[in-house]
Amino acid sequence: MENTFRKAIQDNNEFIVTWELVPGRGSKEVSQEKALQLAEQAAKGKKIHAVSLTDNPGGSVGINPEGIGREIKSLGIDAIIHVACKDKNRTQLESQLFSLERSGLHNLLVLTGDHDPGNFFGRPKPVFDLDSTQLLAFIAKMNDGLELPTAKGVNKLQPTHLFAGAAVSPFKATEAEQMLQYTKLRKKIENGAQFIIPQVGYDVRKYHELYQFVKHNNLRGCLMGNIYLLTYGAAKAMSMNKVPGCVITDKLVAELEQEKQSSDKGAAAMLDRAAKLFAILKGMGYKGVHLGGHNTTYEQVEYIIDRGNELAANWQDYVREFDYPQKNGFYVYAKDEKTGLNTAQKSNDYNNYEKSFDLNYKMSRVVHKMMFEPNKGMFGFMRGFCHAIKDSALEKPFHGIEHFAKSCMYNCQDCGDCALIDVAYVCPMGNCPKNQRNGPCEGSYNGWCEVYPDKQKCIWVKAYYRLKGYSEEEKLNSYHVSPYNWEKQHTSGWINFFEGQDHSAERLGIKPRTNFEEKE
């Protein structure tokens, strides 16, 4: 069967509509049968290009979307399989991707995944072996034909035909969170994301901001809007930060509370709002829309499509109905009072943050400049010293001193493939519950970590403001960090760094030393 979703994405004249279905927990429960019935309606209606199937949304257990995806494909409609990095190491992810290729399920939405809230067995151990940018990069290698070293040379596997997209959150309240989302988006696109679906939000200025950022930076990913059919209950939960990444303001919640007093409990207003947002996104220049919502019917989806297309010619008339800014919320671009959208000029929201004295980071910068900048300061001495003690009786006590110092200052996890210099000396292995080494996930809220809201700041937010104090925030997320090498665990990160054997060696131009290398 032809990949009609991929063909439509690549057709400049096609406006894409996808519909998110949540098969839920179990294998032959009501939720799975309902998902199949809705997909069958969508296939017969021919107004939806693909249905997307979630992978443990919110961290809660659900059926693997691949099984349902095969059945949906047989109904005559494309499926987009959500592939979350959570709870799968790179070996399992590779196996899953080859299985999807074999099944003809080529369309993927690559996600970090939500932290598991726990179940009747308690909270399981989270696994975030790869992040979404690393998985996208691996998928690109698979599509080129994965090359595997063998005793006889290199064995190249058959190229796959995976068509991967990614997520982004344009609805962040702080400068650090928003700019980090955009710089990570650039990484995702550079590593192979073909389409982008944002998280849920109803602030049209933020949608316009995302569109402007992609256009101004010449990023090639196809942007799709995300329209969630918003009931009062769902909006209330999102406004209280109970759904990671989804942002609904109190102003919109108040409107929904009023609407639910009507005879239809606000159903007509909900559909009208969704249709107008559909029209705005289409008129603004988005490639398509992604529809979702709890207990949404096919008839509702069809109404939104038809009504949205009717309204699209006059889309600018509805922009001011979607004025839902967050309190003290950050915008990249200044507001255009005439249209209610954005101008091309930067906003005045930059630099509106609390500056603090950070002794730990000041000391780290001094030591970094003294020892860890190639061909400067004591770098040559440290490189020679580490090479001399490697595999000697001095290596273990040297490693012990390193681990003690880094544990006191950074909550070091003794990983041996140190990412401190990538995240302004905030350890992503010891301080991020998702171990994100290429930028934050989409779940932070007002600067707080998704897993520990109001208790722990997102480490990437902390790193951003550390660097901003030196006007160096552009360095953050400016390069791709390869997956962590678990073989290095409980070895000396300093020795691995100076020997050119950690992930940063190639980027910094540190060549691996050999016993035959001349003294520096």
Tokens of 279: 């029209």
Q: Are 423 and 430 in contact (CB under 8 A)?
A: no
Burial 130-152 (b: 16+ CB within 10 A, else e): bbbbbbbbbbbebbeebeeeeee
Average pLDDT over residues 80-105: 96
207: burial class by Cβ within 10 Å (0-12, 13-18, 19+)? buried
Give me the pLDDT at residue 149, please. Answer: 85
Give me the pLDDT at residue 1, please. Answer: 60
Give me the pLDDT at residue 514, please. Answer: 58
Give me the pLDDT at residue 354, please. Answer: 67
Confidence of residue 410 (pLDDT cuts 50, 70, 90): very high
Residue bearing tokens 């290009």: 49
pLDDT above 60 for 107: yes
**C-alpha 35: how far from its chain's center?**
26
Q: Which percentage of the chain shows pLDDT scores above 90?
A: 87
Average pLDDT over residues 213-239: 94
pTM, full prediction: 0.94
Tokens of 190: 């550079």
Give me the pLDDT at residue 153, please. Answer: 85
Give me the pLDDT at residue 518, please. Answer: 43
Burial 481-496 (b: 16+ CB within 10 A, else e): bebbeeebeebbbbbb
Mean pLDDT, the chain, integer: 93
CATH numbers and ranges of domains, the chain: 4-346 (3.20.20.220), 359-508 (no CATH)
| Window from 64-78, 145-159, 195-209 with minimum mean pLDDT | 145-159
pLDDT above 90 for 252: yes
The partner residues of 289 in beta bridges, in order of sequence, read 17, 225
Confidence of residue 516 (pLDDT cuts 50, 70, 90): very low
Tally Cβ neighbours within 10 Å of residue 376.
11
What is the rounded distance in angstroms from the CA atom of residue 432 to the CA atom of residue 262? Answer: 45
Return the DSSP state at 247: B
Q: Are 248 and 226 in contact (CB under 8 A)?
A: no
pLDDT above 70 for 325: yes
Give the model confidence (pLDDT) of 130-150 as tens digits: 999 999 999 999 999 999 888
Tokens of 313: 């010619």
Give me the pLDDT at residue 61, please. Answer: 85
Average pLDDT over residues 272-299: 97
* Residue 260 identity: K
Backbone phi, psi, residue 52, to 5°? -105, 145
What is the rounded distance in angstroms from the CA atom of residue 498 to the CA atom of residue 374? Answer: 9
DSSP string, 81-137: EEEE-TTB-HHHHHHHHHHHHHHT--EEEEE--PPP--BTTBPPPP-BSS-HHHHHH
Tally Cβ neighbours within 10 Å of residue 268.
12
What is the rounded distance in angstroms from the CA atom of residue 33 to the CA atom of residue 30? Answer: 5
pLDDT above 90 for 220: no
Return the DSSP state at 218: T
Q: Which percentage of the chain shows pLDDT scores above 70?
A: 97
pLDDT above 50 for 334: yes
Tally Cβ neighbours within 10 Å of residue 295.
8
pLDDT above 80 for 515: no
Give the model confidence (pLDDT) of 7-61 as tens digits: 999 998 999 999 999 999 999 999 999 999 999 999 999 999 999 999 988 777 8
**C-alpha 45: how far from its chain's center?**
32
Give me the pLDDT at residue 173, please. Answer: 94
Confidence of residue 125 (pLDDT cuts 50, 70, 90): confident
Q: Are 370 and 386 in contact (CB under 8 A)?
A: no
| Window from 55-64, 358-367, 445-454 with minimum mean pLDDT | 55-64
